Amino acid sequence: MKLLKEAARRARVSNLLLAGGSRRTVTFLKAEKRILPQYTEENQRDWNGSFEFVFITDPQLGFINQTYEGGRGLTWLEELENVRNAVKLINNMDPLPQFVCIGGDMVNAYPSRGEELRTKQANDLKRVFIQLNSDIPIVFVSGNHDLGKHPDREAMSWYHRHFGDDFYSFWHSGVLFIVLNTQFIKFPHRIPLDEVEEQQQWLENLLKKVHKYDPPPKHIVFFMHIPLFWNRADEVDHPCNMPQYIRHSLLRQFAKSNVTTVFCGHTHINFEASWICEAMNREIQLVVSAAIGCPLGPDPAGIRRVRVHESGIEHQYIKVGDKNADDYKRLNKQILDDKK
């Protein structure tokens, strides 16, 4: 634990300027060369006992204004307040989580809106995390708003500068975590970048390597923005799942490698599902979290507290906001009625 905390201290990459000219350091971990240097197989291969982490997804600053207020996504005070509430909650957890994973869509503005707006949203989000306990590092997953539907070289460069690699792996206490870029998976034939094929080959090679481990990782956990599916692995294609031919290929890969759980966002709605591979006697849990930003379902904004045990993984969604989708709709209707 001491070694891990010291590595996190050395990895701090953002010194944020506070009021009065003072500075506070925040532990944002940026993956490079497809790994997190502080969380490698060499220093985290062994199981050291149960631990916790927090999964947060879709801060998407500006989406509430765009969705419920008829705006252009140029204000994001409510999203920031939700994140502040989350930071307070995380700081009071006992035990403290070993890391926080932000599961994509850190910003709402697509690349077509220009870098100035996107950078302001990214920086405002990071600035809120100045109050997070500095022993808790933050890792990132790329989302469709962060990269654009069909990312180009400029969008990828912007993302790498602000958040690091878009796909990578890391270890913690004998557990292997794998982060994927789901835009590359969902639209492989419409993105003319070498990295699309590179991610596919990288993942295949990584999972082949996993097969040779003795003992194997205690768990293999994936973080990806867009879910593989909603209710059933054989459901029809739609904007919030993966195309069937890709979905089934990934599920077979995951089952062969004994993947335990896949954490996702994107939908702004909480749901859970599972897929059982009877031939291999394997079950993969799909956990999709509602947004920390704008809710689109019955649950208000929240975070997911995850407990990793040797025998399994358990998790709990904790609310940090006070309004769900229906509340926002009623509030917006009242505002419109008042203007008549």
Asked whether 186 and 250 are in contact (CB, 8 A), the reply is no
Asked whether 177 and 169 are in contact (CB, 8 A), the reply is yes
What was the pLDDT predicted at 21?
Answer: 45
What angle, rounded to 10 degrees, do the helices at 115-128 and 153-163 form? 20
Q: What is the mean pLDDT of the chain?
A: 91
**Residue 37: HSE in the Cβ half-sphere, 13 Å Cα cutoff:** 12
Residue predicted with more confidence, 24 or 90: 90
Residue type, 172: H
Q: Going by C-beta distance under 8 Å and a sequence separation of 6 or more, which residues neighbour residue 329?
A: 68
Integer Cα distance of 245 and 83 in angstroms: 36
Q: What is the pLDDT of residues 267-318, one digit of tens each?
A: 999 999 999 998 888 999 999 999 999 999 999 999 999 999 999 999 999 9
pLDDT-derived band at 11, boundaries 50, 70, 90? very low
Tell me the C-alpha to C-alpha distance, in Å, between residue 210 and each of 202, 205, 220, 310.
12, 9, 9, 18
Q: What is the pLDDT of residues 147-164, one digit of tens each?
A: 999 999 999 999 999 999
Buried-exposed string 31-65: b where 16+ CB fall within 10 A, e elsewhere: beebebebbeeeebeebeeebbbbbbbbbbbbbbb
Residue predicted with more confidence, 191 or 20: 191
Sign of CA dihedral 266, 250, 182, 260: positive
pTM for the predicted model, two decimal places:
0.92
Integer Cα distance of 57 and 55 in angstroms: 7
- Quickly tell me which residue has 């009021």 as its tokens: 19
What was the pLDDT predicted at 24?
Answer: 57
Length of the chain measured in residues: 340
Percent of the chain whose predicted confidence (pLDDT) is above 70: 90
Integer Cα distance of 293 and 295 in angstroms: 7
Query: Strand pairing of 302-309 and 312-319?
Result: antiparallel
Q: Taking residues 126-141, what's their average pLDDT? A: 95
Query: Strand pairing of 51-56 and 302-309?
Result: antiparallel
Asked whether 95 and 306 are in contact (CB, 8 A), the reply is no
Tokens of 35: 């790994």
